[in-house]
Structure 1
């Protein structure tokens, strides 16, 4: 899965709330459902997306599957995001003469 798709998955409001909970400790679907006041099927759908992406992992504890954030995966995403941020043009390069193919009205 590419970087942009992964960011899109992480930034969905419901999935982001789930991830915030899972960064505190492991939870089962029922506990997440109660904490976020959404249905268990809705939580399960979001968990499946997060599992397929590799953002979370699960392990069986008693009768329930408990989930936690895949820290190594999240570190990779943050490193990639950091590279993207560091490649942003600085104000100095943005104020140099425009080289677009159209005539710019922008005064330099």
Structure 2
């Protein structure tokens, strides 16, 4: 799975909320469901997706599985996005000096105000 695919999985609203919770504390499915106000089967379904991509791992404590986030994998994916943004900022130039194939017919040309 690529970093971009991983980021796509994490940005689904419920999975994002689950990851946010798990970054603060190790929760079981029941606790996550209660905190998010959704059913346990819905949480389990999302946890399966997160486990399949390696972003979440579980540890059995008594009868319940408590989950943690693979922080290194999440950091790696976030770093890929950061590098993409930095690279795009270097390429982003003045709108007046646009050199794309549609520059001559662009309706927005000259309408973007510089900050």
The TM-score with structure 1 as length reference comes to: 0.86
Runs of 4+ in 1 over 2 A off after TM superposition: 89-103
Cα displacement string for residues 26-83 of structure 1 (whole angstroms, at most 9, x for unaligned residues): 0110111111111110000000011111111111111111101111111111211111
Does the 8 Å contact 1:98/1:104 carry over to 2? no
- Name the count of aligned residue pairs: 107
The residue that corresponds to 1:76 in the other structure is 76
Does the 8 Å contact 1:9/1:15 carry over to 2? yes
Does the 8 Å contact 2:3/2:76 carry over to 1? no
Cα separation, 2, equivalents of 1:26 and 1:62: 14
The TM-score with structure 2 as length reference comes to: 0.82
Cα separation, 1, equivalents of 2:91 and 2:84: 16
Cα separation, 2, equivalents of 1:85 and 1:29: 35
Cα separation, 2, equivalents of 1:73 and 1:66: 19
Cα separation, 2, equivalents of 1:14 and 1:32: 11
- In structure 1, runs of 5+ residues without a counterpart are none
Cα–Cα, structure 1 residues 31 and 92, in superposed 2: closer, same or farther, change >3 Å?
closer
